[in-house]
Structure 1
């Protein structure tokens, strides 16, 4: 499934966009995403009414700390327990939390410490939710549909980013922060019955038995079949052992390790320029807030287009080489935004960058999900997501200080060149170069 000659499924499931089980999951996930967006709007406006500007920033960033610190632990929880149960518990906790805050705000103005506490708890729950979401798709569909599911998930994310702010703003206008928190809680509640009615499949074996399994001191007979070695391997008895086992698995896996490393380098190189850097670039060029909005919207439109492509097509040839190629084009396009004089050219480059970044992200996610042993999927997802929520923001102050010293042009180019190291990491791996998405055999029958 990840190299030429690897076995592929003998059947193909119903296309994911027509699979009722997948659609139940996608609808529940969309409700959760919109609820997230409404919650952040309500939290920000509540803080703005009771705190100074610096304190508002403290409230809005408070959730990022537990999310980053607990993300790896969330991966262990997702692998130890049924991911659906983890998602159900996470949405139930977020529902109760936001409805409790809504009731409190309706009675009295919240103190600053209350809002900080809410943000911290919400961030901790998110650290459980995100890895479980990544571990769930292989349990609700067949491997040959994972690319479509990844595209549908990305498209849901983009659409929720469009729908969430207007819904939150409307609730704020009609009933204030209490109404917005209530709407967020109800959206989380709507996901619960959908998740309960989903069908969960038993764990399947890793699709590529040639991929190395994590070894221990007792795994001395390398000639034994993979399944026998896995069965004989002593099971970790503590969460810490589970975490270390997962990290070893990622590091030793010929495909997942390079994909995680390439994604981390990409995020470290470009996240700062696409967030902090664009703000400073627009200020220098005189494009103003509207110019910034056009560029960000262009990037989002490109990413949404790639998500729609995956949701419909479900398969692309030479996945590993295409992943490296789209990563390179995305890096070059993002760096070029700071070098063009006209706003419309910058917007075109943003669309191109978003399109390629979306293809790269979808391919990477799908390849990891199809190559990984399902018992490690939560930990694989948690490590991959940690690079975005934990490591990438570390580049923000560095990018800001560098632009203040050298200007946006050299910094954008330098960050783009650094991100291109991810291309080198990907191409240096034979497993990545040869990676292919799963595809049904000609004449295969659809599964029921």
Structure 2
């Protein structure tokens, strides 16, 4: 008989995921509150406000190798507790922040907490549930982040309206603390160390880059991380392109921009629910590349035309496509890597995602200035589509070579040479 305590529908895991959803909403609300606080309290310029976003995301680039090692050494639960405790401190410290520099520093501290919390959380599902529930659980973990995109701005608005900017900071601290309280509810299976990998990690440096080495040596891991790079490069480009597209191409107000973001969030959540419903049938690399190709096409519809109606259709499809990538990609990464290295592999994937977003954001300014939003997005989207198709064809070719062994001139199977 199946152990219900190791399924995503158990009260313990359900309570944990609910707390993680609230924590993600609190973090998103705090970032919005920081940006708004800087704008109104310190009259910060757009460039200065962008510094907060950079300060928040840079730790995920620089601390990726370190966070993965720490997770695999002391366990994802302990790392998650430490990261959330740091989040509580950073959120409460924001209440007494009295300068622009202090806000920037505390944004970076939130980024450090996220650099450890995200790979710790995404490495937990294989130890939290049985393998038959892994794909569905990953989709539900992704849904916690997706709901924050929709509900985070709402929570920020309510907290700021009722209690001022500091109310959002207190709310975030409370949700971090709730996450710590519910963590003991989750029972994690012990990790069986893979001797072949563990024995090769003889120095801290080699251990830190083990995630990269495992990804580089394992074909399917390498391909999944490539998909992570191309879609996040697209996200980074779109991050700068979206407000410019609404202003310069559609010639609409910020209300339309906010509406399009809301549509994206709603369909992102809808896609997450679909992924959770379908479960293991989507946990394949071909589903991942399908989502990548769909992201490219939907970005073309959204930002590549001058029609608001087409843009609404495009942003809706993009939300669904984004959600359909998240769960299957993480499931493939977890199933294709040693359990003792899950922290480093998931941290490597996070590092690649953050780096790709930075690259996309940086190049977008140059490309949009030279070619405009529609042409830039069209070029990036075609790059994403082409990358997805190329990876799908390579994967299909590999499977064919396994299914159809090499034959000699008279039809006899040729044995592989040792």
Normalising by the residue count of structure 2, what TM-score does the alignment of the two structures yield?
0.86
Taking only aligned residues, the RMSD between alpha carbons, in angstroms, comes to: 2.6
Pairing partner for 1:117 from 105, 110, 115: 105
> What SS does the corresponding residue of 1:316 show, helix, strand or coil?
helix
The answer to whether the 8 A contact 1:303-1:355 is kept is yes
Aligned pair count reads 396
1:251 aligned to which of 213, 216, 221? 216
For 1:85 and 1:130, locate their aligned partners in 2 and report how far apart those are by CA, in whole Å: 13
**Residue 26 (1) aligns with residue 17 (2):** yes
Q: Which residue of 1 aligns with 2:117?
A: 129
Query: What is aligned with 1:50?
Result: 42
Q: Is the 8 A contact 1:291 1:343 kept in 2?
A: no
Instruction: Show the 5 A alignment for 1:266-415.
Output: 266-268=231-233, 270-283=234-247, 284-316=249-281, 319-415=284-380
Spell out the pairing of 1:141-160 with structure 2 (5 A cutoff).
141-160=129-148
CA shift, 1:298, in A, is 3.0
2:224–2:329 contact (8 Å) kept in structure 1: yes
Alignment of 1:6-17 (within 5 A): 16-17=7-8
Give the equivalent residue in structure 1 for 2:150.
Answer: 162
Q: Tell me if structure 2 keeps the 8 A contact 1:250–1:257.
A: yes
Aligned CA distance change for structure 1 residues 287 and 433 (closer, same or farther; 3 Å): farther
Q: CA 1:414–1:144 in 2, change beyond 3 Å: closer, same or farther? A: same
Deviations 1:91-132 (A, max 9, x none): 112112322332x25xxxx12222222122221222111111
Pair 1:20–1:44, CA change in 2 (3 A): same
* 3-state DSSP of counterpart to 1:250: helix
Classify 1:330/1:32 alpha carbon distance in 2 versus 1 (closer, same or farther; 3 Å): same
Q: Quick check: 2:134–2:280 contact (8 Å CA) kept in 1?
A: no
Structure with the bigger RCO (C-alpha within 8 Å, sep 6+) is 1
CA pair 31-336 structure 1, distance change in 2 beyond 3 A: closer
Following TM superposition, by how much is the alpha carbon of 1:74 offset from its aligned partner in structure 2, in angstroms? Answer: 1.0
8 Å Cα contact 1:83/1:133 also seen in 2: yes
Structure 1 CA distance for aligned equivalents of residues 398 and 22 of structure 2: 35
Higher mean C-alpha displacement, 323-332 vs 181-190 = 323-332
Deviation at 1:431, TM superposition (A): 9.1
Shift of residue 317, structure 1, vs aligned partner: 5.9
Q: Residue in 1 aligned with 2:411?
A: none
Call closer, same or farther: CA 1:400–1:113 in 2, change over 3 Å: closer
Cα 1:56/1:75, change in 2 over 3 Å? same
Aligned-partner SS, 1:429: helix
Q: Which has the higher helix share?
A: 2
Matched, 1:62 2:62: no
Listed as ranges, the gaps of 5+ residues in structure 2 are: 401-418
Distance 2:36 2:250 in 1: 30
Aligned pairs for 1:419-430 (under 5 A) are 419-423=384-388, 424-430=390-396
Q: State the match for 1:175 in structure 2.
A: 163
Q: Is the 8 A contact 1:131 1:381 kept in 2?
A: yes
Say whether residues 1:72 and 2:60 are aligned partners. no
C-alpha contact 1:17 1:311 (8 A) present in aligned 2:
no
Consecutive unaligned residues of structure 1, counting only runs of 5 or more, are: 1-9, 206-226, 435-448
CA spacing shift, 1:250–1:280, aligned 2, 3 Å: same
Identify the residue that residue 381 of structure 2 maps to in structure 1: 416
Aligned partners of 2:224 and 2:288 also within 8 Å: no
Deviates more, 1:340-349 or 1:135-144: 340-349
TM-score, reference length from structure 1: 0.81
Q: Does 1:262 align with 2:262?
A: no
User: Alpha carbons of 1:37 and 1:433: their partners in 2 closer, same or farther (altered >3 Å)?
Assistant: farther
| Cα pair 1:168 1:180 within 8 Å, conserved | yes
Tell me if the contact between 1:320 and 1:433 (Cα under 8 Å) persists in the aligned partners.
no
The equivalent residue for 2:414 is none
Residue 83 (structure 2) pairs with residue 90 (structure 1): yes
Instruction: Tell me, yes or no, if the aligned pair for 1:12 and 1:144 is still in contact at 8 Å.
Output: no
Change (3 A) 1:180 1:330: closer
